[in-house]
Amino acid sequence: MSSTNRTVMKAAGFLMAAQMVSRILGFLRESLMAGFFGQSGVTDAYNTAFVLPDLLYWLLVGGVLSAAFIPVFSEYIAKGNEDEGWRVVSSVVNIIFLTLGVLVLLGLFFTPQFIRLVVPGFAPENMTLAIKLTRILLIQPLFMALSGLTMGVLNSYKIFWPSALGTVLYNACVIIFGTVLANPDKPESVSGFALGVVVGALVSFAVQIPALRRVGVRYYPVIDLSHSGVRLIGALAVPIILSYSLNQIQVVVNNNFGSMLFPGSITSVWYSYRLFQLPVGIFALAIAVATFPTMTEQAALKRWDDFRMTLSNAIRMVIFITLPISVGMIVLRFPLIRVLFQHGQFTADDTLTMAIPLFYFSIGISSQAVIQILPRAFYALQDTWTPVILGIISMAVNILAMYLLIGPLAHGGLAFATTIAAFVNMLLLFYLLRKRLGKMDGWVIFGTCVKALVASLIMATVIWGWSEWFTPLTGVSTFGSLLILISGTAVGMIVFAGMAKLLKMSEFTQVMGLVQRKIGSKRL
């Protein structure tokens, strides 16, 4: 393994650990909410309240950050023109906050009209609650913008830990405020979780300030629309902003369809989606974030062989990690849901309801993981239009699939549509990126897919046999389900590791080498 890939994987390993802690806290947050309010119209209202704030954030910050801000600023740093880079950063930050402030004010004023458009099937009391929660959460994008832009600057310097710590503290704040203020007898008390989100976003920014000061932050109160760097960020950001805006249409359509189904449908899909995103967030996103600055630097310096190697290594690693998780989550989804959610107001019937979308989401984990990396390769090449066009195609596939599948599969159709769209998006991205680069280690990546799938299916068979034998002995209580989940996961990891070694997978050797070096360094 090259020194560059070793550095990337070390950074990814740290981010994975931080993301794992954050996601565990995130599921504790969701589990607490499920215990207080079950899977109901109240939780449907809470989840719907995120639609407008998320739209504003991704419209102005998320797209700019991932597609334009980091690549352009990283190029200034790589070429030794750091001071000029800070002038560009200042102009972009000022433009974003002026625009975001105006949109937040408009959002506060037009919240009732927006919510009625998104969830027309809500009961009046849930509609009122969703409006109240949305207005609380509309403060969040301002703090998230500060946190996200700060993260972008630090990531350009290949400093990742402050933002990772920020995500952990974010979830901790939501848990504290939600737990203290929640009262199952008062549906409006779910607003405690919303208040925690706002405070958590502020804390997530504040914890990054010391690191920002150490890199020598330079802020200029200017808006220079004529600067070439600002204009480049604008040109790169426009298509990705369009893409994120269109992605929110999918969220609106999902909630629109879900509001017409039985109460709790939106929540069951949302909780399943959170579980589905767990391996994507911990592993794929960590590898993608750690790889992105390196790919950007390699593209800026036109080191194309290194670029292809970094990209191929990242893709193969996320497939190696997420494919067994996908299969294992399908087999163990019932004990997983019982352990995380089935307590308090969340009943056994809610578990059966949630297991349906989780099944369909789990099928697409690896596809969703790979498309955390492929668009960033285009962004590193300063091509933001291609991922957007393919995203629009995938969005159309998603909406069409929702329309066709919601009848026969109900809320499961909403999840399956997302999986289908992710698979289509992955194939299209890979095909066009291969045309752009000429080659992409396609056969090596395909070999990893085949070997990982074979090992995962054998692993799934063993886990299924184990759980079928063990479940009658332990029962389906929370403790019994925990035993099945832990033992099944341990058995699965041993079987998959054994098969990966037997099949001589280079990814397994790479992971074990990193682990051994980490253990060795700690002993020293």
The DSSP call for residue 227 is S
Cβ–Cβ under 8 Å, residues 381 and 71: no
For the stretch 404-444, pLDDT in tens is 999 899 999 999 999 999 999 999 999 999 888 888 777 88
Cβ–Cβ under 8 Å, residues 363 and 308: no
Q: How far apart are CA 414 and CA 320, in angstroms?
A: 27
Q: How far apart are CA 39 and CA 140, in angstroms?
A: 24
pLDDT of residue 63: 58
Cβ–Cβ under 8 Å, residues 23 and 276: no
- Give the contacts of 502 (CB within 8 A, at least 6 positions apart): none
Q: How far apart are CA 178 and CA 30, in angstroms?
A: 10
pLDDT of residue 522: 47
pLDDT of residue 60: 74
Cβ–Cβ under 8 Å, residues 69 and 214: no
Give the dihedral sign, CA 379/382/388/389.
negative
Q: What are phi and psi of 221, to 5 degrees?
A: -80, 65
The DSSP call for residue 188 is G
Please identify which residue in the block is written with the tokens 């993260």. 151
Q: How far apart are CA 94 and CA 486, in angstroms?
A: 49
Given 3-state DSSP classes, what are the helix, strand and coil percentages for the chain, each rounded to the nearest 5? 85, 0, 15
pLDDT of residue 247: 72
Burial 438-457 (b: 16+ CB within 10 A, else e): eebbeeebeebbebbbebbe
Cβ–Cβ under 8 Å, residues 241 and 59: yes
Q: CA 277 from chain center: how many Å?
A: 6
Please identify which residue in the block is written with the tokens 């630090």. 154
For the stretch 286-341, pLDDT in tens is 788 778 878 888 888 888 888 888 898 889 999 999 999 999 999 999 999 999 88
Which tokens belong to 323?
């494919």
Cβ–Cβ under 8 Å, residues 385 and 239: yes
* SS3 state at 391: helix
Neighbours of 480 (CB within 10 A): 18
Residue spans of the chain under pLDDT 50: 518-524
pLDDT of residue 67: 56
* SS3 state at 378: helix
R_g of the chain computed on alpha carbons: 23
Cβ–Cβ under 8 Å, residues 485 and 355: no
pLDDT of residue 208: 87
Q: How far apart are CA 125 and CA 147, in angstroms?
A: 34
Calculate the alpha carbon distances from 331 to 181, 334, 485 in Å.
36, 8, 10
- Give the contacts of 498 (CB within 8 A, at least 6 positions apart): none
Axis crossing angle, helix 411-437 with helix 265-279, rounded to the nearest 10: 30
